[in-house]
Amino acid sequence: MQSLFKLITKPSTRSFILQFSAALLIGFMLRFVVNLTPVWWLVWIAPVPLLVIALRSNKRDTFWITAVAASIGLSSNLHYYQLVMPAPIAVLVLLAQSWLWVLVIMTTRRLVLRYQSWWTVLVYPVVWCAVDTLLAHCLPDGNWGSLAYSQTEFLPMLQVTSLFGVAGLLFLLALFPSAIALAFVYGRRLHHVPWAYGLTTLLLIATFTYGEFRLQDPSGKQQVVFGLVSIDDAIGLQASATYAASIWQQYDRHVATLAAQGAKIIVLPEKIAMLTPANAEQLKRYLSSVAKAHHVWIIAGSAIDDGSRPSNLAWMFSPLGILTNNYQKHHLAPPERDYATGVDYQTKVIDATLYGLAICKDMHFASLGRAYTERNVGVMLVPAWDFYFDQWIASRTTLIRGVESGYIVVRSAREGLLTVSDAYGRVLAEKPSSGMPGQTLLVKTNIAARLTTLYSIIGGLFGWLCVLCLVGMAAWPVASAYLRAYKALPNSNLGDASI
């Protein structure tokens, strides 16, 4: 007992207990930051203690504290990962995401301690933006789960995505805790320290002011009535004819009700039924008759299994019952890895407004969202199928595409949310989906001409500039060492002032 007391009272043991307690506390906060329904305001302050510890601790302690805290926080999503992928892969994804946090914090620590100047306040945001940009372009799931998507409730700050995309919002989101952490650790001891805190304050105030100003823009004068329908029940290849008919008849009743209420464009969810090619032709004829009978545009998601590679499709029928568009999903969810991949972009002019088609995960990629901007689309129609637990983050990721590119998004999801959002990220209407008899949403909104945003012109330029800045900051010490060595050579003229 006495030896245990001595062990506990040793300075090294007390230090470990304090550090481990801090890791647990930070990890607990991160659970509300990196989960599928993050607390937006907590995202601004949760990284502060982690950064303070990193700048005050040695490399080994920073590494394990960050690893423990990140693992605890990210474990909040483990159950969701196990729903969409095999358990071993889910664990590997969790470990990889924890490693990213370690990489970001360790890189930030190294660069800040090396330079200890006012501009190091930019290191943490630059590192996060660089990592996020590379993830968005290199991984099949892109930068899904980016911290920036947590800010869709903070509308003034959200408007910065119309300028610099997700990278611009993430930069500001990381800049604030970086400045607070430097203030805690260094106070006034940084070289030219007023620049660090002044720049942070100026950027945040300017962004907030721009956001408030942008939100005052008037809406358009052309009014359109959208109808959204979703029934969570799915129709598989082995479904009985009676079961399938009951679901389609319920969709028909919902369409009739919405059309009677004034809906002109009605969006149904993704992959309502898995079909053989023969059944697909039969369903097309049926949906064509429904659209013609109620004189509405209908967008419906389905999947066709021809025995080789299934296809995930969105069909668009005109009020005359004509199949005008047959869109194939570009970006496939983990359970769809054996599906064929679409490459075409589908648009349709309705009453002088250009509409675009996408399916669920497609809208998680800024590149696809911007591709429709280049085609001058004013409204995106998006059938979707979520996994219930990710319904908030899936709908808000899609919402940001509309802010980046300046268009309305109409998204109807199974096991998710029926959502209509405008070009400023405002949720105009929203309802959760349900099983039979399903859920409907009627939305009347004004449509303006598509907003031209800076992001629609420059794309991901800001994110790639952050990648270049990170490479430059990391490489500069090595380059400086070589430069000094070269100057020291007897035959070197590099330091000669006459040159």
DSSP letter string, 111-125: HHHHH-BGGGGGHHH
pLDDT at 208: 97
Task: Give the pLDDT confidence of 294-316 residue by residue, as tens digits.
Answer: 999 999 999 999 888 999 999 99
More confident residue, 493 or 201: 201
| Predicted confidence (pLDDT) per residue in 357-414, tens digit | 999 999 999 999 999 999 999 999 999 999 999 999 999 999 999 999 999 999 999 9
Q: What angle do CA 211, 216, 222 make, to 5 degrees?
A: 125
Dist CA 271 CA 234 (whole Å): 8
Residue 480: predicted pLDDT: 62
Token readout for 368 is 């696809």
**CA-CA distances (angstroms) from residue 105 to 22, 58, 110, 188?**
15, 12, 9, 22
Share of the chain above pLDDT 90, in %: 78
Of 298, 366, 358, nearest to 327 (Cα)? 358
**Which tens digits make up the pLDDT trace of 38-95?**
999 999 999 999 999 999 999 999 999 999 999 999 999 999 998 888 889 999 999 9
pLDDT of 494 over the 80 cut: no
Query: Is 0.85 surpassed by the pTM of this model?
Result: yes
What span, in angstroms and rounded, lies between the C-alpha atoms of 205 and 218? 23
Tokens of 178: 């970086």
Q: Tell me how far apart the 2 most distant CA atoms of the chain are, in Å.
A: 92
What pLDDT score was predicted for residue 4? 45
Whether domain 222-456 has CATH 3.60.110.10: the reply is yes
Domain boundaries, the chain: 12-216+463-483, 222-456
| Mean pLDDT, all residues of the chain | 91
State the pairing for strand pair 222-230/427-432: unpaired
pLDDT > 70 fraction of the chain, expressed in percent and rounded: 92
Express each pLDDT in 185-239 by its tens digit. Answer: 998 887 788 899 999 999 999 999 999 999 997 766 788 999 999 999 989 988 8
What pLDDT is recorded for position 488?
A: 67
Quick one: pLDDT at residue 484?
65
DSSP state letter for 263: -
- The confidence score (pLDDT) of residue 392 equals 96
Whether omega for the bond prior to residue 437 falls within 30 degrees of 0, making it cis, is yes
Cα–Cα distance list, 61 to 67, 73, 108, 116, 328 (Å): 10, 18, 15, 20, 49
Angle between helices 391-405 and 161-186 (to 10 degrees): 110
Quickly state the pLDDT bin for 498 (edges 50, 70, 90). Answer: very low
Give the pLDDT band of residue 9 (cuts 50, 70, 90).
Answer: low
User: What are 331-340's pLDDT values in tens digits?
Assistant: 998 888 899 9
Q: What is the pLDDT of residue 374?
A: 92
In angstroms, rounded to a whole number, what is the distance separating the alpha carbons of residues 467 and 472?
9
Q: What is the pLDDT confidence band of residue 482, given thresholds at 50, 70 and 90?
A: low
Confidence of residue 493 (pLDDT cuts 50, 70, 90): low
pLDDT beyond 90 at 158: yes
Strand partners, 285: none
Say what the pLDDT of residue 219 is.
66
Q: Minimal CA–CA distance to 29: which of 13, 60, 8, 53? A: 53
Is the predicted pLDDT of residue 17 greater than 80, yes or no? yes
